[in-house]
Amino acid sequence: SDITQSIADTVRQKNGIRSFSEFDCADLNQLHDWLFDSSKARPIENPRKSLDFPTSLELNPSQEHAVRGALQAEDVFFIQGPPGTGKTTVIAEIINQATQGGKKVLLASQSNDAVDNALGKLSKSPNVRPIRRYGRSADPDPSAEKFLEGNVVSKFFVPSIADKCHEQHVSSLSKRSKNRAMNDLELLPKIKDEWTHQRGELESNNDAIIILRSQEWNLRKEKDRLEEDIETLDAAKGILVSRSEANLTPGMSALIDVDWKDIGELAGHEKAKHLFEANVELADHLATAQTTGTDDYADWAKKLHIITKNQGIPDHAPLIQLERPPDF
């Protein structure tokens, strides 16, 4: 019956415990003594503050403390916690840390599922090479199939190595990208200074262009004014030429020989003297035209005014009267 079977199991378990406690073994294996008297286990004298290797799982402070204690204990380390506190995660990380240090780990449990759950958390750790040698789960977990002897190499070990290599490759690319970014960041001040310098030069060039354009506009304006003056002087010259040379004095005839397009040739030239004399004689002629009522009065007055104003010929103020007579 069920009761008889239960009694038989209990008796068998008691006998097993008694045999284990009385087991005579070597000094290096005192597991049976620790289980029945944990005070014989050597305590941790200098607890570690950090783990030796990177973790493969995310741990909270309590879980990390448990992992450090288990790795540092020389004899035995007990971990206790209610369901959901992450004991399986702690066991998996202990295995990960130990195997990264080149150690071998035996994971035993009364339930095959517990072993599979712990190893399932290490599927991306190539340093872990799990082989479940004994026992099969009543309801096999698909994720545990890769831990069987016939599958562990192809379904766990090789994929874990590939995943690790890919992770390291991505990390290496990220580091190189970060280094390039840091180098570019160091160059930014120099680039900024060069850009500021070039911008200053560009602004200076723009200012110079604005000034040159303004000067060009002024020169064009001056050129237009001079061309108008030359046209006026050519007209005045034409009037003089049209007059009978017999009526022109030598001083007035000097105006005919002037090249008004090259006024600069008059500086320091003998013609400057003749022009002054012509100015005086033109004033006399203008006075005569004003008295006699000659029709040329207005033209003579205009030409004489332009000559004296624009060409720098000394003005004989007492002789020049540019006001039109009242009867004109």
Around Cβ 285, how many Cβ atoms within 10 Å? 21
Instruction: Name the maximum alpha-carbon separation found in the chain.
Output: 167
Separation CA 314–CA 308 (nearest Å): 7
The radius of gyration computed from the CA coordinates of the chain, to the nearest angstrom, equals 58
Q: Residue 63 carries which side chain, given as an amino acid letter?
A: Q
CB atoms within 10 A of CB 283: 21
Rounded distance, CA 57 to CA 200, Å?
Answer: 56
Distances (CA, A) of 319 to 292, 322, 327: 16, 10, 20
Q: Are 304 and 283 in contact (CB under 8 A)?
A: yes
Whether the CB-CB separation of 115 and 132 falls below 8 Å is answered with: yes
Cα distance between residue 98 and residue 71, in whole Å: 7
Q: In three state form, how does the secondary structure of 13-77 look?
A: HHHHHHHHHCCCCCCCCCHHHHHHCHHHCCCCCCCCCCCCCCCCCCCCHHHHHHHHHHHHCCCCC
Please provide the CATH number assigned to the domain covering 2-163.
Answer: 3.40.50.300
Q: What is the pLDDT of residue 268?
A: 46
Alpha carbon of residue 110 to chain centroid: 60
How much is the pTM? 0.41
> 167, 139 in Cβ contact below 8 A?
no
pLDDT at 227: 81
What token pair was written down for 136?
A: 């099969």
Whole-number pLDDT of residue 136: 57
Per DSSP, what are the bridge partners of residue 73?
none
Whether residue 318 contacts residue 288, with contact meaning beta carbons closer than 8 Å, is answered with no
- Measured between alpha carbons, how far is 205 from 196 in angstroms, rounded to an integer? 14
**pLDDT profile of the chain (328 residues), mean per 10:** 75 75 55 66 83 89 92 86 89 92 85 79 76 59 63 69 76 78 80 86 88 89 82 66 52 53 51 56 62 58 56 41 39
Domain boundaries, the chain: 2-163, 223-310
